[in-house]
Amino acid sequence: MNTRTRPLWAHLQNEARLLSRESAALIFGVVIPVVAMLVMAALPAARTPTSAMGGRSVVAAYTPVLVLFAGSVLGLTVIPTILGNYRQWGVLRRLATTPSTPGALLTALFVLVLLIATAVELLLVLIPALAGAGWPPAPGWFALGAGLSTVTFVALGAWLAALVPSAKAAAGIGNVLAVLVWGAAGMWFPRAQFAPWLRLATELTPGGAAAETMQLTGGPQASVVRPLLILLVWTAIACWAATRSFKVE
């Protein structure tokens, strides 16, 4: 292990230990969506396609929602809380005077959150598949939507931490944003039952665009490309804003 990767590896180990103490975030971002999927996948009726869900099963309709639930909780609440605390405690400022750098710590934190989110998302796909509900109709689209949305939420969380100095306030705002994401993705009311104008309006949000991308099955028609382009724009904006606005103090 060379001198460049050693600080990153040390930060990864330290952040993993600290993140394990964030019990509330881990329960909401990891345990709840996995348990919810286990319960739904165990019900035969939830695995059967129904017209109320646009010809899909309840499990198929809610898999993208639970994926977004996990990614948004980890990105929009965990990231702002940890980064806000580090700024208030002067951790990032002190790191700037050591052989390590704030960038190494931030990279370790982002990588760790993305790894956790990816592991949870894989479970949310494997559980219904093993229960007989099948795989997503287009695994490539699903993986792209899940991955981009998670990166977007992590970047938005870093942006939120930069704009709101208080860790608690940033986490509170992140919770509100996460609830809006869930609604746009169809948690409170299935997207298949949205009015056309509401479906189009929510598709302009990260949650709606990601949910639509994960459910794509067609080729490169305009209606298929649109949610993907919207999600790509949100990802680019979030990453740019987080990079431009984040400060160590």
pLDDT in the model for residue 130: 92
44, two tokens: 């035969």
Residue 214, Cβ density class (10 Å: 0-12 exposed, 13-18 middle, ≥19 buried):
buried
- Give the helix/strand (H/E) hosting 198: helix 196-203
Mean pLDDT per 10-residue section of the chain, whose length is 249 residues: 65 76 77 94 90 83 90 88 81 72 77 90 94 85 88 87 82 90 88 89 91 71 74 88 75
pLDDT in the model for residue 221: 52
Domain boundaries defined on the chain = 5-245
pLDDT in the model for residue 223: 62
Nearest residue to 235 (alpha-carbon basis) of 161, 162, 143, 151: 151
* Tens of pLDDT, residues 193-245: 889 999 989 999 999 988 888 887 655 455 667 888 888 899 889 888 887 87
Give the predicted TM-score (pTM) of the model: 0.84
pLDDT in the model for residue 80: 85
pLDDT in the model for residue 17: 78
Nearest residue to 128 (alpha-carbon basis) of 42, 23, 218: 42
pLDDT in the model for residue 239: 85
pLDDT in the model for residue 119: 93
